[in-house]
Amino acid sequence: MFPKSLLTPVTQSAGLLLPILLIFRNAFPLSHQINSKIWVLFQLLISAVFMFFMAHAWLFKLHLPSRYTGLSFRIIMATATAIALTLIIDGLFKWIESQKNSVQNLKRFNTFLAGGLISGILISLLFYPSFVPFFPLVKYRVGEMTGLYSFFQQQPKDIMIASLSGEVNQLPTFARRSILVGREYTIPYHLGYYRQLNQRTLDLLRAHYTPDLTGLKNFIQTYGIDFFLIEQSAFTPDFFEHNDWILEFPPGQTAFKQIQTGKFPALSTRMNQCLALHYRHFFVVDGACILNLKD
């Protein structure tokens, strides 16, 4: 429900003070200028939480649950922080003005204290975010393998692509084609959903690294695989070390030991015979071609 970056930068935590500032309106005169429209923040909060639970009840039909609270909560905190800090800074200025009739020494002390607080707030707002790593963290994904996307877009829309590469996660968005499984899609929200993706992952690992051509063909026929997307390093120990999630699965562990002993998978030895595209460090292998190969 709560995004990790909700209070990043930490100055966003000032938004939590807004309800308290509104209770003590007399101490913060500018708060009287806030009208009933501020309730839109509360309405956004309630609707986000409601949709969060509804998205769990109708899982995947209403997108991922965190999509409703992650962005909404950030908007609420950012807006509340801006209002709260504005009220505090204005209140401090009003406090300085109210010290005109105070004893000289007390006036100086209070003015110095209020001025220091104002300066501290402004400095933290202007300079602190510059020292926060990866801020702002927008999490945009840039599709860089344009040649791959163009190739797949030229294929029929109902093709199925199988791959262990991280690039496969980008294909549904940038190539608009279906993939068998991808690490970013194996989110265990629902057992019925996850069991299927988990089984696909296990079967793909076995087929990808099996030395048995018949086993590879059976996998292609079972899932209707049209293309394999293979990284150049996919059949080296380095690939497993940079994709350690593969080693979480027993077939992945078996494949790693097999590669270390120099036992080559059927897919690697037949890859050049059925190569459909070589783009940078990726190879696209035609599944139908593999089915026509002889043992």
For the chain, domain boundaries: 10-131, 146-291
- Predicted pLDDT at 176: 97
Q: What is the CA radius of gyration of the chain?
A: 29
- Predicted pLDDT at 164: 97
CA distance 109 to 67: 48
CA distance 283 to 38: 55
CA distance 213 to 290: 9
Assess whether the previous peptide bond of 19 is cis (omega < 30° from 0). no
Closest to 239 in 3D by CA, of 203, 267, 212, 217: 267
pTM: 0.71
- Residue 106 is given by DSSP the state H
CA distance 17 to 84: 7
SS3 243: coil
Q: What's the CATH code, domain 146-291?
A: 3.40.50
CA distance 177 to 156: 9
- The tokens describing 81, both together, are 């922080």
Helices 39-57 and 66-97: crossing angle, nearest 10°? 160
Distance of CA 222 to the CA centre of its chain: 31
Per-residue pLDDT tens, the chain, 295 aa: give them: 998 888 888 889 999 999 999 999 888 999 999 999 999 999 999 999 999 999 999 887 888 899 999 999 999 999 999 999 999 999 988 888 887 766 676 677 778 888 888 899 998 888 888 887 777 777 788 899 999 999 999 999 999 999 999 999 999 999 999 999 999 988 887 788 899 999 999 999 999 999 999 999 999 999 999 999 999 999 999 999 999 899 999 999 999 999 999 899 999 999 999 999 999 999 999 999 999 998 7
CA distance 204 to 198: 10
- Tokens 């308290």 belong to residue: 20
Closest to 89 in 3D by CA, of 68, 64, 119, 113: 119
CA distance 16 to 80: 7
Edge-to-edge strands of the sheet including 178-179? 178-179, 160-163, 227-231, 282-286, 275-279
